[in-house]
Structure formats: structure tokens, C-alpha cells
Amino acid sequence: MSTAPEYTASSSSSNAPSACPLCGAPEPPQARLGTEPFPLFECPACGVGFVYPQPSPEELARFYDETYYGKNRRKFLNPVERGIAALTRLKWRRLRALLKPGARMLDIGCGRGALIRVARAAGYEAYGIERPSPSQHDLPYVFYKDLAGCRFPDGHFQLVVLWHVLEHLANPRATLEEIRRILQPGGWLSVAVPNFGGAQAEAAGRDWFHLDLPRHLWHFRRRSLETLLQKSGMRAARCSTFSFEYDWYGTLQSWMNRAWADNNRLYSALKGEPSVRGGGKFARLAGASVLALPALGSAVWDAARGQGGTLTVTAQRT
Ligand SMILES: [Zn+2]
């Protein structure tokens, strides 16, 4: 049963939090970046960023519509989808090294199930969880409900994958404690989040692509994520700050937001959204092709200094 503190939202946006909801440090969190109507605060002790007050589930549901998930069971244009599938196979090779043959694993926030398909083809017992939505894919082996509602037995999985999910959750600590419960002793969690302490976030400020308010309710840097893992009964064993697709694209889109007030419309174009068509679409794709190589170089340079745009932590149940 979770011992995580309840995160209670106030209906008044003029309220400021009196203490950090993640680490409990008594120093008052500071307002950051002027992100009204979804104010972002940062804890001076653990460095976590968080939206306060947290919007209600009903209000947040408006930001998870068909535009977010993609129509016709496809999120991006076909070449982008193929690139993502190839990168998933590379990431699977690193995860597989942690696992016993045929082990049972769970991908929380599995999206279109790419990782599950690769793992199953390799003989592993892989399952997924995804938020129910009108455009859900109805994949086999995927539960369209929240983690607690799945009622998995204790110690059921050798690996849980939690990529780009934690920052969306109302109460990340409660979810990590549930993950600990369903992991075998010594089992692994692979967790990835945008890096609030990375050079990309620092340089882009309000224009940072991964700020994504209010869907990203939390923003972690390395010490805040490791604090949260430790409080949840897990130990960070490895940390990397480079993710090829997230960091390259995050740098590129953040630059376009900063230089041309693009407001993530390149991203909309890559998703094939009808709001960005014709000349606007081609101008963006042309701008992106000019900036693509410098953005890749910048993302690799940030990661080489330990300040890349994505934190990926491999943690073990203690
Ligand atoms: Zn804190």
C-alpha cells in the first residue's frame, strides 16, 4: 500500500506550495519561467519542477485527445514511424542483457506496442499498459487501465519499462511504489524522463519542447529522480543523458520555437496534422532539414558533458 503523500491541488492559481511534494524539504519552492495558466515551481533542495496547483483529471483529459495520440493508429508520418521502430530494436538489445531467457516484463505507457512486439518475437513474456482513449489500438497483451487497476501479483515481473510516463503522472511516488511491489527482488526498472537539468532545458527556458505543460506535471533532474527512486525502494544503478530521437528532435524543435516562435508546429507537421499543411508545412520541413545536423551535434555534445536532454535510469529493486 502506498505511503506517498497525497498531492492536493488548490482551485486558486495564486497559491504557492509551502513545501516540496516530492522530497518534503521545508524550503518554499520557487516559481519558474512564468508559465501561466499552469504555474511551474522548482524545489531548491531536490531540484524537481512541478505544476502547482495540479489541474484536475477532467481538465487534463482535454490535453490527451486525438491530436495527441494520432489518428488511424499512427502517430507520425511513415518515415518517422520506421525510424522509431528501428530505435526501439536498438533499445531492446540493451534491456535484453538484463533479463533471464523468457522473462516476464511490463512496458507501462507502451503506446503502439513496438517494444512488446520485439520482446515477444525474441521469446519473452511481454505485456503493456496504456491510457484508455478513443483511438486506443486494442492490442493483445495490453491493458487499457491504470497500473493499480491491473492488480498484478507481488514480484510478478523481472523488468518494468517506464519511458516518458513518470512526468505525466499525478503521483509518481505512488506509481513507483506499486512498480516496486510487482518487481521480483533484484528486478529492474528502466525509467526515462526529459532532463530538467540538461543544457537543452536550461538554454530553451519556456521554449523547451519537452516542457509540454500541462501534460508534463513533473520535471526531473538527476538528483530529483534518484531521490524519488530511493524513497520508493529502488536504487539507481546506471544513468545516461542521451536519447537519440528525443534529444535530437527536442533540440531542433526548441531552436525553432525560440527563433521563429514555432510553438511546436514542426511537431504537428510531422504528425500529419491538418492544422499544418501546404506552404507552412514545407517551410518548416525545409527549416528543419537545415538545422537537423547542427541540432544533432548540439545534442551529442550536451550528452558528452552529462547534460543531455533525456535522463534514462536503470534502477534495481532493493
Ligand atoms: Zn524537493
What is the DSSP track for 148-172? HHH-PPTT-EEEEEEES-GGG-S-H
Q: Is the bond leading into 194 cis (omega within 30 degrees of zero)?
A: no
Distance 32 CA to ligand 1 centre (A): 14
pLDDT tier at 13 (50, 70, 90 boundaries)?
very low
Compute the distance from residue 42 Cα to the ligand 1 centre, in Å: 8
Whole-number Å distance, alpha carbon 26 to ligand 1 midpoint, is 9
Residue 221, C-alpha cell as written in the block: 533532474
Q: How does residue 8 score in pLDDT terms, banded at 50, 70 and 90?
A: very low
pLDDT of residue 288: 80
Indicate whether 240 pLDDT > 80.
Answer: yes
Whole-angstrom CA distances from 179 to 53, 98, 110, 220 are 26, 17, 15, 18
* Boundaries of every domain in the chain: 30-317
Given 3.40.190.10, 3.30.450.40, 3.40.50.150, 3.20.20.80, which CATH number is that of 30-317?
Answer: 3.40.50.150
Segment 89-112 mean pLDDT: 94
* Own/partner long-range contacts of 11-14 (Cβ < 8 Å, ≥24 apart): 11/53, 12/53, 13/37, 13/39, 13/53
**What DSSP element (H or E) covers 245?**
helix 244-260
CA torsion through residues 50, 52, 58, 60, sign: negative
Q: Which residues surround ligand 1, an ion (CB under 5 A)?
A: 20, 22-23, 25, 43, 45-46
Sorting pLDDT into bands at 50, 70 and 90, what band is 68?
A: low
Q: Bigger pLDDT: 263 or 275?
A: 263
Instruction: Tell me if 42 sits within 8 A of 80, measured CB to CB.
Output: no
Q: What is the 231 CA–ligand 1 centroid distance (Å)? A: 12
Å from CA of 19 to ligand 1 middle: 8
Ligand 1 centroid to residue 169 C-alpha, Å: 17
Alpha carbon distance 114, 245 (integer Å): 15
Count CA within 13 A, CB hemisphere, residue 129: 19
The alpha carbon of 47 and the centre of ligand 1 are apart by a number of angstroms equal to 6
Distance (angstroms) between ligand 1 centre and the Cα of 20 equals 5
Please tell me the distance between residue 28's alpha carbon and the centre of ligand 1 in angstroms: 9
Distance 44 CA to ligand 1 centre (A): 7
The rounded distance, in Å, linking the Cα atoms of 70 and 143 is 19
The rounded distance, in Å, linking the Cα atoms of 266 and 218 is: 24
For residues 182-197, one letter each, b for 16 or more C-beta atoms within 10 angstroms of the residue's C-beta and e for the rest, the string is bbbeebbbbbbbbbbb
Cα-to-centroid distance, 50 and ligand 1 (Å): 10
Give residue 237 CA to ligand 1 midpoint distance, Å. 21
The alpha carbon of 24 and the centre of ligand 1 are apart by a number of angstroms equal to: 6
Average pLDDT, integer, range 112-137: 90
- Please give the distance, rounded to the nearest whole angstrom, from the Cα atom of residue 144 to the centre of ligand 1: 32
Read off the C-alpha cell for 128: 503493456
Q: How far is the CA of 135 from the centre of ligand 1 (A)?
A: 36
